[in-house]
Structure 1
Amino acid sequence: MALSQVLYLIAACRLILTYPVCGFLTLLASLTTTISPLTLLVMSLERYVAVCYPLRHTTIITIRNTGVAIFVIWALGSLNILTRVLLLLEFPFKDLENLQMKDFCSDVAMLLGPRSNDYDRAFICVLFVSAGVAISFSYFGVIIAARSASTDKASARKARNTLLLHLVQLCLILFSTIFSPLLMALSGILTRIVFVRFYTCLYICVSLFPRCLSSLIYGIRDQTIRPVLMQHLCCRLTPKV
């Protein structure tokens, strides 16, 4: 969220960066964008194990295995960044008059060659198809387990709703990948005032909201966190129970 805010403020202030600075910021943003669906995938599988294999949950979902999962997620994200850096090195920057960009900084502006563009599309497709299949598999597995007489109905229903929200969250994050191309297409159609308003609304709904969903999903449902969260959301105007 911090990286998206920085890029948004840079674009809103019409600051034109150099290619190295913009590349550094967009690569960090790309890393967090890659990590988001992979994290949803792991969280969905954890809910599947909790409902379908409750007796083995404590042996499978351990601190060590959680650490391994986090390491694998960051390793895959870093591998994607390394590949994009290697593709950027193929661009003939020496032929440019200077390294100053002609447009505002964005991930689309850093796709400086056909190979880089093709790789980005292929990686996004593979990433989100894999995450979508895993979350859908977990969702239907929980639904089937919920019909079993030996399954805790309340726990299964809660896990099903959580997975459904994760699926919605994945769709929103997927939509955020076409955020910049959509804005570039609309910039030539809408007036400037309408475009700026649409840009701000779309940025909040597509870029910020999906990243807040996990905190809201697990925070509001937690009996310990919910009273404190609601109190702060209401500016501490609600009386303490």
Structure 2
Amino acid sequence: MLSSVQPAVNASTFLQYQTSQELLLLGLLSVGLSCSFLYVNSVLLFSLRSKPLFCETSRYILLYNLLFADTAQLLSSLLLFLLASLRVKLPYYACGALVLLSVATSTISPLTLAVMSVERFVAVCYPLRHAAVFTVRSTSVAIALVWAFSFVHILIRAFMLLYVFTTISPSVHMKDFCSKEAFFFASIFYDFEDVYAGTLFLLVGAAIVASYVGVVLVAGSVHTDKASARKALHTLLLHLIQLSLTLTSTLFSTIIMAIGRTEGRLVLARIYSVGFVCLNILPRCLSALIYGLRDQSIRAVLMHNLCCLCRCSTPPNKSHFQM
């Protein structure tokens, strides 16, 4: 009897150990990628403030705002991921600060993408008017409107939360791990999210597609700079891909909840880790890849700053000091 039970116990222990090892590996991979892109984004943010050209050109000012929002979004998502992985339960209001930061920055990114797409459209289709339309002042106003729209979104959620609390008294500590779904737990938030996300991404998508079509129509003109038009088309396509990934990330929690009803913990953890990398990390690093590698002005400064620590840590060559 004991001999038949012992192999089953050993097999169960081995599977549990294997599951824990796999989950640890997936978690380390996700955290490692997040930290790597946080570093790249931070260096690029520093680079965009290192030269007057970047501070006085509309496209670079908009890029800085997009990178700032993406970095804040990536940081908040990483903190939520670590807290859930370590099974840490936060006080309700501490969780609310993290969730509201994540929600606010998730709105800023697509709106900034729309403004950047319109800026590329004007630069290609109306090059003589571009400098007059997209000045430092008008770009700053556009960024302020983007942040104001995001602030209104947070206010609406706050008023809805107060309405929910009139009927439900929240506990001091959350019963579940900190997440947007656990914080905005009432069904009214899901209805609001569907309408808001659908409207937002429909408008932003329309702005990007309209800009793309406009550049395509103008690209065939004799007087158009072909190289500039081709580069703008590639940029707009990448913006559309970035927007699609961001839209999918808003639906990711619904997909996870549906899968969790039928699949086990290991399968759910695998899907969650892969989705975290593809839908939370990847959209937040595309801006650095699109502009940091494709833009020659940024690439030189970015590579210099990225390699600066390596050069500083390398001991100087003695031959340089020999006379």
Equivalent AA in structure 2 for residue 161 of structure 1: H
**How far off is 1:97 after superposition?**
7.4
**Residue number in structure 1 paired with 2:10:** none
1:61 aligned partner: 134
Q: Deviations over 1:163-204 (max 9, x none)?
A: 000000000000010122212222233332232222111101
Superposition CA RMSD, Å: 2.1
- Of residues 95, 106, 111, the one that matches 1:22 is 95
Alignment: residue pair count: 236
Q: Deviation of residue 95 (structure 1)?
A: 4.9
Residue 21 of structure 1 deviates from its aligned partner by: 1.8
Check conservation: 1:91, 1:112, Cα contact below 8 A.
no
User: What amino acid maps onto 1:103 in structure 2?
Assistant: D
Q: Say if 1:172 and 1:210, in contact at 8 Å, map to a contact too.
A: yes
Q: Which position in structure 2 is the counterpart of 1:4?
A: 77
2:145 to 72, 93, 102: 72
Q: Deviations over 1:94-122 (max 9, x none)?
A: 85473322221111222233333222221
Query: Normalised by the size of structure 1, how large is the TM-score?
Result: 0.91
Indicate if the aligned counterparts of 1:106 and 1:180 stay in contact, CA closer than 8 A.
no
Q: Give the match's secondary structure for 2:257.
A: helix
Is this contact kept in 1: 2:92–2:171, CA < 8 A?
no
- Letter of the structure 2 residue corresponding to residue 75 of structure 1: A
Contact persistence 1:93–1:99 (CA under 8 A):
no
Q: Which runs of 5+ in 1 are unaligned?
A: none
- 2:174 maps to which residue? 101
Partner of 2:39: none
1:169 aligns with 2:242: yes
Which of 203, 206, 218 does residue 145 from structure 1 map onto?
218
Same amino acid, percent of matched pairs? 48
Residues in 2 aligned to 1:77 and 1:165: alpha-carbon distance in whole angstroms: 23
Of 270, 273, 278, the residue aligned with 1:200 is: 273
Change (3 A) 1:220 1:97: closer
Cross-structure match for 2:5: none
Structure (1 or 2) with the larger CA radius of gyration = 2
Shift of 1:93: 6.6
Change (3 A) 1:114 1:97: closer
Structure 1 residue 9, shift from structure 2 partner = 0.8
Q: 1:58 to 1:78 in 2, by over 3 A?
A: same
Secondary structure of the residue aligned to 2:180 is: coil
More helix, by proportion: 2
1:109-120 map, 5 Å: 109-120=182-193
Structure 1 residues 173, 120: closer, same or farther in 2, change over 3 A?
Answer: same
Write the distance in 1 (CA, Å) between the matches of 2:170 and 2:149.
35
Within the candidate set 150, 153, 158, 1:85 is matched to 158
1:197 alignment partner AA: R
Letter in 2 for 1:196: A
For 1:50, the equivalent position in structure 2 comes to: 123
Judged with a 3 Å threshold, the aligned counterparts in structure 2 of structure 1 residues 123 and 97 are, in CA distance, closer, same or farther, namely closer
User: Following TM superposition, by how much is the alpha carbon of 1:138 offset from its aligned partner in structure 2, in angstroms?
Assistant: 0.3
TM-score by length of 2: 0.69
Superposed displacement of residue 229, structure 1: 4.9
Q: Deviations over 1:64-118 (max 9, x none)?
A: 0110011000000000000100000012378547332222111122223333322
